[in-house]
Amino acid sequence: MFAFAADGLIIPAGEIPYIDHTKPYWDDTLYELMKLAGKHRFVVGDFNLTAADFTNLMVFNKTMAEEFQLGNLYDLVRSGKWTLDTFGEYAKMAVRDLDGNQVMDGNDRYGYVSIAYDIMGCFWTGSNADLFIKDEEDLIVFNAPNSEKVTNVFNRIYEIMWDDAVWHVNTEGEDRVGQIKMFTDNKSLFAYATPFYLSTSLRAATVDFGVLPFPKWDEAQEHYYSRMEGCELFGISSFNENPEMAGVIMEAMACDSYNNLKSLYYDVILDTKGTRDEDSVEMLEIILDNHKFDYGETLCFDVFGHTTMVNAFKKNNRSFASIFAGVTSKIEATLEPYHEGFAEHDT
């Protein structure tokens, strides 16, 4: 959809009559995030359930949390004290060589389970480490090489996962369901999940679990942010002969979904099937109200998010300056057609 927009094939959402992005059934955060070259390109409404299904969250084992006397984790979130350091401290408590063979493998217990692909993106987003920013012209800039915070966040993630042996190392596979099964088999305190997995792989789980957002970088960070792996986007073709009517229909779809579909999504799929308590539903609202995506994992997916950083994490490679330098030209080359396209078609 971004490629179509750069080719002038999509009417910018901000120019479509009758679409009012300030209404509660449109996601205003994503609306601003997808503003490029001075124009709001897309808008995400409540009829778009992939925006929720593809948002990442964390689940925790309530029985273990009680065993380790962690207190009320929901209150920790509410008080703004659910931070990356706190997560690391708690996750380390759970690590144990259950079979006593002095080798940590699938038979043992961990602080956190997830495939390697999901580690970095979830935690850097939660820590609000902006790998990509937009300049004064709303063009995408690779910010990581110039950001001390990005380096600090990356180092801390590696320290927790590798140095403290919190993570179940699985550098060869991409089996999300298998990692979630380790959690449901009581082999981890925390685990990666999404609303989709709450209503599928975790739906029949016997383990008593709760839902949390990914931790903040520190207490000074205002919001909890949740990684959004992407979502299906909707747009109106520039060849549409009646874009006003198309805008009316999109507005009506979003409004009706807010009044009807969204409540079903929460109450039926999540509340009664996917989660175990009202606190988790509150956490889900926090998670879905503050989700965002990173251009490194979307437009630059093939040259950065899915390759460079995942491979670096799998190899425990912490030469971040070198990693960023090695990929900068590829990222710029990937982004250039978008920037050129917006400039060409927006005059």
Q: What is the pLDDT of residues 173-193, one digit of tens each?
A: 789 999 999 999 999 999 999
pLDDT of residue 4: 94
- pLDDT band for position 12 (cuts 50, 70, 90): very high
pLDDT of residue 167: 97
- How many residues make up the chain in this entry? 347
CATH of 54-224+300-337, one of 3.40.190.10, 1.25.60.10, 3.10.20.30, 3.40.30.10: 3.40.190.10
Calculate what percentage of the chain has a pLDDT beyond 90.
81
pLDDT of 327 over the 90 cut: yes
pLDDT of residue 263: 79
pLDDT of residue 273: 63
Average pLDDT over residues 294-305: 90
Average pLDDT over residues 20-26: 95
C-alpha span between 62 and 73 (Å, rounded): 9
Torsion over CA: 32, 35, 40, 46 (sign):
negative
Write down the pTM of the prediction: 0.94
C-alpha span between 247 and 253 (Å, rounded): 10
pLDDT of residue 173: 79
pLDDT digits (tens, 9 = 90+) for 215-241: 999 999 999 999 998 899 988 999 999
Q: What are phi and psi of 343, to 5 degrees?
A: -65, -40
pLDDT of 347 over the 60 cut: no
Q: 116-126 and 148-158 helices cross at what angle (nearest 10)?
A: 130
Strand locations in 221-306 (E)? 226-227, 236-237, 291-292
Check residue 296 and report its DSSP letter. Answer: G
C-alpha span between 13 and 47 (Å, rounded): 16
- Give the DSSP H or E segment for 190: strand 188-193
Residue with tokens 């606190």: 279
Q: Comparing C-alpha atoms, which of 280, 277, 300 is closest to residue 288?
A: 280
Torsion over CA: 334, 337, 340, 346 (sign):
negative
pLDDT of residue 204: 83
Q: Where are the domains of the chain?
A: 2-52+229-291, 54-224+300-337
Query: Mean pLDDT, the chain, as a whole number?
Result: 93
Note whether 123 and 157 are within 8 A (CB): yes
- pLDDT band for position 168 (cuts 50, 70, 90): very high
Residue with tokens 């955060």: 29
pLDDT of residue 240: 95
Helices (H), strands (E): how many in the chain? 15, 12
- In this structure, of 92-96, 165-169, 270-274, 278-282, the range with the lowest mean pLDDT score is 270-274
pLDDT digits (tens, 9 = 90+) for 250-294: 999 999 999 999 878 877 777 666 677 789 889 999 999 999 999
